[in-house]
Amino acid sequence: MPPTDSSSAIDTHPTRSPATHVDTSSLVIVPTYNESDNIRIVIDRVMQLDADLSILIVDDGSPDGTAGVVREAMDAYPGLVHLIEREGKLGLGTAYLRGFRFALEHDYEYICEMDADLSHDPDDLPQLIAPVKANKCDLAIGSRYVGGVRVINWPLSRLVLSYGAGVYTRAITRMPIRDVTAGFKCFHRRVLERLDLSRVHSNGYAFQVEMHYRTWREGFRVKEVPVVFTERTEGQSKMSKAIVREAAWKVWELRLRDLIGRL
């Protein structure tokens, strides 16, 4: 059984931040596990944007030295790059929850999720943040399935699985979101303040489905922004059968809890 997140596990390696903290209103949270080939490229591209951005890497004890690469980037971008090191592979969902807590504690207004493998284009961050800043929505989702299918280098089987997951999830939950498993997005802090994050226990794709569902059910405004998703070229995909099974069961759990008034 994989380790689960806990305060003791999270805080064994505290957040590493430079002595000088630069105030920005937007934070990009990037979970990592064995992403040393990609993470410096991601950080550099985010930092090169003409935007009010900081970046937080939540690393799950990567044995390939990912955290060391991040520490070098912290020296290059004082006060803008932050690192949380955790012991062991605790999972995507718990990494984002840890990042959300960091964002709320440090008064960030706009809180983004992004993968570390360059499947999400950092250049798309401004168009995700802009509608939230303009108060046109509370959650902006970078969608692969708005205005057509926008995926590069996926085998047909992977595309069918992803698209089918959306159809399956919408049929059960009635959630009006086409890209239900999207992991590229921007929340306004009021969403994360309202949601009871202590009740979010899923990981992988199920985590994204659960966050979308809880946000929608709380009455927040959700907007899908078309983006292009490109399959990673470096490193290894974290997709597994267990992740797919968790997502398949999670939609029933969310819907049933909602029906009996306990969500």
Domain assignment present for residue 67? The answer is yes
Q: In CATH, what number is assigned to the domain containing residue 136?
A: 3.90.550.10
pTM: 0.84
Helix (H, G, I), strand (E, B) or coil at 13: strand
At residue 71, the pLDDT reads 98
Domain assignment of residue 112, given as a range: 7-259
At residue 245, the pLDDT reads 66
At residue 40, the pLDDT reads 98
Q: Of 149-153, 181-185, 257-261, where does mean pLDDT reach its minimum?
A: 257-261
Domain assignment present for residue 114? The answer is yes
Domains identified in the chain, total number: 1
At residue 68, the pLDDT reads 98
The rounded distance, in Å, linking the Cα atoms of 100 and 191 is: 11
Structure tokens at 151: 């995926």
34 within 8 A of 117, measured Cβ to Cβ: no
Find the mean pLDDT for residues 93-116.
97
Enclosing H/E stretch for 263:
none
Q: Of 186-200, 209-223, 229-243, where does mean pLDDT reach its minimum?
A: 229-243
Domain assignment present for residue 2? The answer is no
Find the mean pLDDT for residues 147-160.
79
For 122-140, how does the pLDDT look when each residue is reduced to its tens digit (9 = 90+)? 999 999 999 999 999 999 9
